[in-house]
Structure formats: structure tokens, C-alpha cells
Amino acid sequence: MCAETISPHRHDVLLVIDVQNDFCPGGALAVPQGDAVVPVINRLAAGFEHVVVTQDWHTPGHESFASSHPGHDPFSEITVAYGRQTLWPDHCVQDTNGAALHAGLALPGAELIIRKGFRREIDSYSAFFENDRKTPTGLGGYLRERGFQRLFCVGLALDFCVRFSAEDARKQGFETIVVESACRGINLEGSLNAALQSMRQAGVTLMQDAVLA
């Protein structure tokens, strides 16, 4: 893997997406090697003045859970009010251990934790807009008001929450970089390749690996 050197400056933010127990091995919606991102993110975070964290934060009985739709299996799709929605195993239920950030994350200076997916009827992959693509989380306004210009996105899962967050960040006018070595994907029916292609098309910069200068 070819590592690029980065020197974060004061208008840069490291956006750490959904590094939660349920997305790590042993969790309810485990991403293969999900926990491998933890030391990579910790190393990167040490070089950033500004770190923002997201947390998937669902109600019990959330609409995105297969268990809320009798007869439908996890990883199948249904149509809901806002369009197609993949159904997931119950995960990241508010205030449970599965929803907690991975204990190995060392982000003492994180300035904001933004929670998403907390409305029972709407899922939210993106850190900016929920899956109806209309309901804002407020993150765009926060980042603009703070004068940030460039976002480095890392975390889980590369083909869902990282992808949609990065694409929305770009649409919101932020220069957006995804560091792949600090992400892992679920890869549901080719979703990993689709995500990489879609992010490139959206103007997101993909870095295979990054080390601090």
C-alpha cells in the first residue's frame, strides 16, 4: 500500500465514523476486521487539531431492523416511505454496549459526537443527511460555522456510512478525503466496489493510506 504524507492544518477535521462495538468482531453487525481501524485512526488523530466523531444511535424497534418487519431477513431490502432500505440485524441501540464507541479509540480531544439514526422511522447512513436525503443532522452547519474546509473521513463501514458521509460532505462543499487504510467495509453484493466508484465520481479523494508528516 502506498502511504501518502499528510500535514493536517487548522481548517481540517478528522471525521471518525461509527467505530462502535456492534460494527466490530463479536458485534451485532460486525464488519470484517472492523476493529483493525482503531490503531490506524488513533495514529492519525494524534496529528489533527480537530476531531469529530459519529455514532449510529437507533431506537429499539428501529425501522431499519429486519426484526421490525416480520417475514423479512437481515440484509434483504424493502421499500419504506423514503425509498429502498436495506434491513439490518438489530444494532447500535441507544445506550447499549453495542452502541458504545470501541474502547480502544483514543480521541481525547474530539470536539463533537454527532448521533444519527435516532428517529424510529428513518435510517441515517450519512453524518449529514438521513436516508430520506432531506433531514439534516446539523453537522454541515456546525462545520461551516466553525470555518472548517477539509474533511478526512475514516471508520465503518466504508461502503455505507463512510461512503454516504463523504459524498454528502463533498456536496456540502468540503474538500473530502477518505483514508482507506482507516476504513473497513461490509461488502454486501458488490457494495464495496460500487462505493469506491461512486465516491470517486462524486469528487471524493481516495487515499489508500496516510501517514502524518
Residue closer to ligand VGL, measured from CB, 12 or 63: 63
* Smallest gap from residue 136 Cβ to Zn ion (A): 18
Q: Based on the shown chain and the rule CB under 5 A, indicate whether residue 90 belongs to the binding site for Zn ion.
A: no
- Distance between CA 206 and CA 193 in Å, rounded? 13
- Distance between CA 66 and CA 205 in Å, rounded? 34
Told to judge if 18 belongs to the known catalytic residues of this protein, a careful annotator would answer yes
- Distance between CA 20 and CA 27 in Å, rounded? 9
Q: Quick one: which of 160, 168, 169, 174 contacts ligand VGL (CB under 6 A)?
A: 160
Task: State the binding string over 51-90 for ligand VGL (x if CB under 6 A, else -).
Answer: -----x-------------------------------x--
Residue 68: alpha-carbon gap to chain centroid: 23
DSSP structure string for 106-134 = --TT--EEEEE--STT----SSSB-TTS-
Residue closer to Zn ion, measured from CB, 35 or 56: 56
Per partner kind, with CB cut-offs from 5 to 8 A, the member of Zn ion, ligand VGL, none near residue 15 is none
Instruction: Name the residues that contact Zn ion, by CB under 5 A.
Output: 56
